[in-house]
Amino acid sequence: MEQTLIIIKPCAIRRDLIGEIIHRFEMKGMQLCAIKMMQLDDKILDEHYSHLVGRPYFQRIKNSMMKTPVVISVWKGVDIVEIAHHMAGATNGREALPGTIRGDYSVSIQENVVHTSDTVENAKTEIMRFFKAEEIFDFNQLSNSVLYAENEV
C-alpha cells in the first residue's frame, strides 16, 4: 500500500477544521499512520516549496504557513496519493468542486486549507522531510477486510 502526506494548513487550524478534515479522510477508508502538530519555519518551508522559490508570491506562502502550527499526517491505502489529492480538490478553492475539501471549505488559492502530496515520489520525499521512520506506524486496520477486495491488498 502507498503512503501520502497531508498537511492541515494554518487557515484550517484557525477555523477549527482539524477534526472535520481528518474525519473525511477516515470516512473514505484511509488509514492514519502518523500525526503531529508542529510550527514550520523558513528552513523547512524553503525545502518544501523549493519549486516556488523566485515566484513573487513565495514569501506570502511562507508567511501564511507560519501563522500557526500545522497538523502533519501520514496516511496509508491503495492508490492513496491520488485519492487524497482528488479529495482535496483544485488548488484554488474558488475552482474546487463542491464535495472536495477545498470546494467545501476554501475560497482562496493560497488559504486553501490542506496540502496533499501530488505524486508517489513526492509523497515519499515529503514524508521523510517531516517524519522520522520510527514515528510512522504500520499495522493492519481491521476495516481493511471490508474496504478492499482480497486481490486489492
Q: Which residues are catalytic?
A: 115
Residue ranges of the alpha helices (H) in the chain?
10-14, 18-28, 42-48, 58-65, 80-88, 101-105, 120-130, 144-147
Q: What is the DSSP string of 61-84?
A: HHHHHTSS-EEEEEEEETTHHHHH
CA distance 98 to 24: 14
Q: In what order do the strands lie in the sheet with 70-77?
A: 31-38, 70-77, 2-8, 114-116
Asked if 81 contacts 4 with a C-beta cutoff of 8 angstroms, the reply is yes
Report DSSP state, residue 119.
S
